[in-house]
Structure 1
Amino acid sequence: MDRRTLLTTLAAGATAAAAPWARAQGYPEQLIRWIVPYPAGGGTDVIARTLAEAMRQTLGQQIIIDNRPGASTNIGADLVAKSKPDGYTIMSADNALLAFNEYLYSKLPFNPAKDFSYIGAIGKFPLALVVNPAFPAQDFKSFLAYVKANPGKVNYASPGNGSPHHLAMELFKNHTGTFITHIPYRGAAPAMADVMGGQVPCMFLDLASGLSIMQSKKVRVLAIGSGARSKLLPDVPTLAEVGVPHTEVFAFQGILGPAGLSPAVVNRLNADLNRAFGAPAVQKHFNDFGMEAMPGSPEQFAALSRAESQRWGPIIKAANIKLD
């Protein structure tokens, strides 16, 4: 290779290497579409809209929310996985996409570990074991004794097959050697209504959906599946405190983009997300939902997602839970 050819080749390589950075320098140059794989008005939608407004102020560009519900978030996820990796299509992702669906479905049109760019975690909220106030058990110890004395005779509600609430109880059953029968509902609201009404005696309930009925004593909270007691429910012991260790159960959310996003774009979005946690409106909604913000790096979010996938895979397989 002569000197002129060598210089031309080196220049071309430098230009190619600098292209993503050059694009990121002007990013964002148009509005950003944020896919929410749930209907408008729910907790995930509210959190996304609140964060989008806070991030808009620092990104200097409009962020529009596009609700694409269905198939346990797979419809929205497939759209994002197949979108152009330019930073203008991102999505809210939770336990379903990040940890559960690869085991719940025999085949997915995408690979959660390979077909997305992990931008950052949003937050997590623990699930708590609740019972109808008329249920004979007054505390966790008596609840455990009752279900052990009545195997298969106690039912529990969940918002649906494969939900974090469903899998939380399966993990609990696995760790306590109990047999409680699953009654799936279509959403958290009808499941909560039947627990409050006494049609089904118990369930694992997330703070985002059920904090108000927990605080108003419409259900009795026996234990919470977090590493430490919640500031919002300080009198409720953790599962570890009542003798069930290694049973931390929580729902978590984060932001993904399609695979191949420029590192500079990922880092820009991550920085603006972390900055948004300080916005008063974001802090208010997080507090209202009992949600703990999870500022951190894209790498930390990816590691959490993969660790949760590895934790829940054996539980899903052992319970033989399938959604197709």
Structure 2
Amino acid sequence: MNLPRRRLLHAASATALASLSPWAARADEAAWPSKPIRWVVAYPAGGGSDFLARQLAPQMGRQLGQTLYIENRPGAAGIIGTDNAAKSPADGYTLLTGDNGAMVFHQAMYKRLPYAPQDFAPVGFMARFPLIVVVNPQSGFDDARQWLQALKANPGRYSYASPGIGSPHHLAMELLKERTGSFVVHVPYRGTAFASQDVIAGQVPMTVLDTAAGLPLIRSGKLKALAVMGRQRIPALPNVPTLQEAGVKDFEATAWQALFVPRSTPQAIVNRLSAEMHKAILTPEVKARLEEFGLEVLPGEPAALADFVQKETAFWHGLIRARHLSAE
């Protein structure tokens, strides 16, 4: 075969393949899911993020006809796992549990991130973890008002433990300090378990815990709950007031979890995932287990999640800049 004819045939083959590619892509979308789906949780097994994913994954798997398996990739305040998900193929076979830290705080707390929140497409809001101010029962704090008065009257005398710099728990206390004009020393730990242990041991008088970690310790009497940091009391602790009830105006801080996929994942797959997640999280037995764990179940659509993240970013980045906070 002469060279011009060979080139002509190659060009024709390439054109034919290009014309077929949209059809091939649509066929892949229609066949999805045809293999197990990886769900990345950027925190250790056993925590609140892990619990939420492991409650939803089996139900979503049954609905989709495929296994959803949890892959814990902890480290660097969730950055390692989040970055891994960001760099995964955008084919619908990688999911990520994203939270305040990964999708909002880190962008302002770190000078350099290996990923950007824009590397992800929102699938839907899943749930909120209410935050609770807890103290050692022997700390001498009787209630939320007395505690707030003590903080204000004794700047620098008290310290609080957090699961880490840039965590929702840390930023919630920074918001409290900004709203009340108090100065409380921050003692960051490498995770909730370590922070809780030192408060229980009396090494640090107080900390902020989400309901997943805090409720068992409160119920056992190892820690004492003083205030809820959301706008409403929580059913699991009906006698514990909100900070607003204790006199802190316009205060709300929670830890939240949402589902994301790598950017450029086909919209048809994103929509299907959103619908199946919404259906799974509202399944009565799943919803009951999550609420027993203290979660506020609030499934939402992709567009609503995108709008929510934008508003959260504007608010919290303003606070981070105003208080000159940094994780570096």
Residue in 2 that maps onto 1:279: 283
Deviations 1:228-255 (A, max 9, x none): 1101111111111122122211111111
The one of 149, 159, 164 aligned to 2:163 = 159
* Partner Cα separation in structure 1 for residue 256 and residue 222 of structure 2: 25
State whether structure 2 residue 294 is matched by structure 1 residue 290: yes
Larger radius of gyration: 2
* Partner Cα separation in structure 1 for residue 292 and residue 190 of structure 2: 23
SS at match of 2:130: strand
The one of 106, 114, 135 aligned to 2:111 = 106
SS at match of 1:252: strand
Residue in 1 that maps onto 2:12: none
* Partner Cα separation in structure 1 for residue 181 and residue 97 of structure 2: 35
Q: CA deviation at 1:321?
A: 2.6
Q: CA deviation at 1:143?
A: 1.0
* Partner Cα separation in structure 1 for residue 289 and residue 327 of structure 2: 32
Amino acid at match of 1:169: M
Q: CA deviation at 1:14?
A: 10
Deviations 1:25-45 (A, max 9, x none): 221112111111112232212
CA contact (8 A) 1:47 1:285 kept: no
Task: Please give the residue correspondences for 1:86-105 in structure 2 after superposition, counting only pairs within 5 Å.
Answer: 86-105=91-110
Residue in 2 that maps onto 1:262: 266
Amino acid at match of 1:242: A
Percent identity reads: 44
* Partner Cα separation in structure 2 for residue 95 and residue 102 of structure 1: 10
Task: Please give the residue correspondences for 1:6-25 in structure 2 after superposition, counting only pairs within 5 Å.
Answer: 21-25=26-30
CA contact (8 A) 1:21 1:264 kept: no
Residue in 1 that maps onto 2:207: 203
The one of 235, 238, 241 aligned to 1:234 = 238
Question: Which moves more between the two structures, 39-48 or 220-229?
Answer: 39-48
Structure 1 residues 267 and 18: CA distance shift in structure 2, 3 A: farther
CA contact (8 A) 2:126 2:300 kept: no
State whether structure 2 residue 56 is matched by structure 1 residue 51: yes
Deviations 1:180-220 (A, max 9, x none): 11111121112112222222111222111011222333322
* Partner Cα separation in structure 2 for residue 301 and residue 179 of structure 1: 34
Give the root-mean-square deviation of aligned CA atoms. 2.1
Q: CA deviation at 1:134?
A: 2.1
State whether structure 2 residue 83 is matched by structure 1 residue 78: yes
* Partner Cα separation in structure 1 for residue 227 and residue 26 of structure 2: 49
Residue in 2 that maps onto 1:123: 127
Amino acid at match of 1:58: Q
CA contact (8 A) 2:77 2:164 kept: no
The one of 172, 176, 192 aligned to 2:176 = 172
The one of 67, 73, 79 aligned to 1:68 = 73
Deviations 1:285-315 (A, max 9, x none): 3123200111110111122222222221122
Residue in 2 that maps onto 1:186: 190
Q: CA deviation at 1:13?
A: 11
* Partner Cα separation in structure 2 for residue 109 and residue 168 of structure 1: 25
Residue in 1 that maps onto 2:34: 29
CA contact (8 A) 2:126 2:297 kept: yes
Question: Which moves more between the two structures, 86-95 or 173-182?
Answer: 86-95
Task: Please give the residue correspondences for 1:220-231 in structure 2 after superposition, counting only pairs within 5 Å.
Answer: 220-231=224-235
SS at match of 1:79: helix
TM, length-normalised to structure 2? 0.89
CA contact (8 A) 2:124 2:259 kept: yes
TM, length-normalised to structure 1? 0.90
SS at match of 2:279: helix
SS at match of 2:128: strand
CA contact (8 A) 2:217 2:223 kept: yes
CA contact (8 A) 1:157 1:191 kept: yes
CA contact (8 A) 1:20 1:262 kept: no
Stretches of structure 1 lacking an aligned partner (at least 5 in a row): 1-11
Amino acid at match of 1:33: R
Question: Which moves more between the two structures, 131-140 or 57-66?
Answer: 131-140
CA contact (8 A) 1:127 1:206 kept: yes
* Partner Cα separation in structure 1 for residue 299 and residue 18 of structure 2: 35
Amino acid at match of 2:246: V
Residue in 1 that maps onto 2:8: none
